[in-house]
Amino acid sequence: MKTPELINFLKEVPVSGREASVLEKVYAFVVRDFRTWWTYKLWVSIDILGTLMFVVSYYFVSKIVTTTSLEAAGYGTDYLTFAVIGVAFQQYVFSSVSTLSESIRGEQWDGTMETILSSKTNFRVFLLGESVFRFIMGSYFLVTALLVGEAIGVKITTNLGSILSAAIMTMLLITSHMIVGILSAALILKVKEGDPIVWSFSWLTQLFSGVLYPLNLLPSQISWIGAIFPLTYSLDGIRRCLTVEATIFSPIVAEDIVKLAIFIVVSLPIALKAFKAAYDSTRSDGSLGQY
């Protein structure tokens, strides 16, 4: 096409139509991410292998562990189930949140961040779009881990009420950790470095949220730290539902739900404000596309 023809083409009034809805835009992100992910087919197999390895390694650890502390904390006598649930859910939220910040880092590195944020897409939609696929994939691996665990001796209840209750707690877990992801995205946008929030979150939760051991093993001077993290309540509630057949109507689980809800209601607006502030700041200092 020669220049004058292109000019004439561009002069034509664009076909008018409605703007894409939030759902359609998020779907576009998911399709993009799925297609990219699908080109790394080998990675999919390797990820499954990785899941298998960590579950199986705790099988062996469970052979040398006593269960006195577990029983005292009300989680039954099965360390393997305790550990697999802990690590599976902790990895679930950590990988979902860290891949969000990695994908933002990747957008900065590839130069596509500016392209997207200078389009009609609102930054909240951008965040949602970047997150959804990661949580879908995280769910896929979570289920795989639990199924592999079942195959080697993890005992999970078949009580429908308990399973549904665990699902509700998982939704709250996801929502609360998206907030962590948004905060970390805000920091990455501004600081352009690897992710102090996500990495701090990872080791802090492993230490204080009862991932590999019940919290009654921690000295009283530091055991209260776990109360800051939504993962602590989520794991507690999910474990009780899946191992001792508690439901959302059980007092302890209900208490966990209330605490999670308070966390979400209070911190979600703060996280969104922080991201907006970082976004505006990078636009102001011109560093949006830098890495």
Partner 1 sequence: MGLSSMNTIEVLSLTKRFERKDDGKKRPFAAVDSIDLAVEEGELFGLLGPNGAGKTTLIKMLCTLILPDEGRALVNGFDIVKEAEKVRASIGWLHGETGGRALYWRLSARDNLRFYASLQNVPPDVAEKRIDALLDFFDMTEEASTLVKDFSTGMKVKTMLARTLLPNPPILMMDEPTVGLDAATAVETRKLLKALSTDLGRTILFTSHNMFEVERLCTRIAIMNSGKIVAIDTPLRLSEISKEIKAVEVRISEIADSKILDLFQGLKGVQKVVKTEIGEDYSLIQVQVEDEQEAIATMPEFLQEKGLNVISIQRALPTLEDVYMKLTRKST
Partner 2 sequence: MSVSSILGLFREEAPRLKSTFRQIYAVVWANLMIFFSYKYSVITDLLSMAASIFMYYFMGLQVDPTQLSSRGYGQSYIAFALVGVATSQYLWICLSRLSHVIQHDIRGGTLETVAVTQIKMGVYFIGQTIRGYLISLISLFGTFAVGLFALGVTLQINVYTIATTVTTFLLMIVANQAIGFMTAGIVMVYKRGDPVTFILAGLNEFLSGVLYPLELLQQFPIVYWMARIFPYTYALDAMRKSLIGGATILSPDVYFDLTMLIIFSVVLLPIGLKVLQRGYNVIRKNGTMATY
Q: Assess 277 for contact with partner 2 (CB under 8 A).
A: no
Q: Assess 38 for contact with partner 2 (CB under 8 A).
A: no
Q: How far is the CB of 268 from partner 2 (least distance, A)?
A: 24
Q: Assess 286 for contact with partner 1 (CB under 8 A).
A: no
Pick the closer one to partner 2 by CB: 140 or 199: 199
Type of residue found at 172: L
Q: How far is the CB of 284 from partner 1 (least distance, A)?
A: 16
Asked if residues 106 and 130 have their Cβ atoms less than 8 Å apart, the reply is no
The vertex-238 CA angle with 235 and 244, nearest 5°, equals 120
Among 32, 43, 111, 118, binds partner 2 (CB under 8 A): 43
Query: Which 3 state secondary structure label does DSSP give 67?
Result: coil
* Per-residue interface string for the shown chain with partner 2, residues 127-166, x marking contact by CB under 8 A: ----------------------------------------
Distance, in Å, from the CA atom of 160 to the CA atom of 141, rounded to the nearest integer, reads: 22
Return the H-helix or E-strand segment holding 189: helix 160-191
Per-residue buried b or exposed e for 176-207, using 16+ beta carbons within 10 Å of the residue's own CB? bbbbbbbbbbbbbbbeeeebebbeebbeebbb
Among 72, 151, 164, 217, binds partner 2 (CB under 8 A): 217
Q: Assess 65 for contact with partner 2 (CB under 8 A).
A: yes
Return the H-helix or E-strand segment holding 197: helix 196-208
Pick the closer one to partner 1 by CB: 4 or 251: 4
204 binds, among partner 1, partner 2, none (CB under 5 to 8 A by kind): partner 2
Q: Assess 207 for contact with partner 2 (CB under 8 A).
A: yes
C-alpha separations of 114 from 34, 119, 162 in Å: 21, 8, 45
Residue 28 tokens read as 């576009």
Q: Which residues bind to partner 1, rule: CB under 8 A?
A: 2-5, 7-8, 192, 290-291
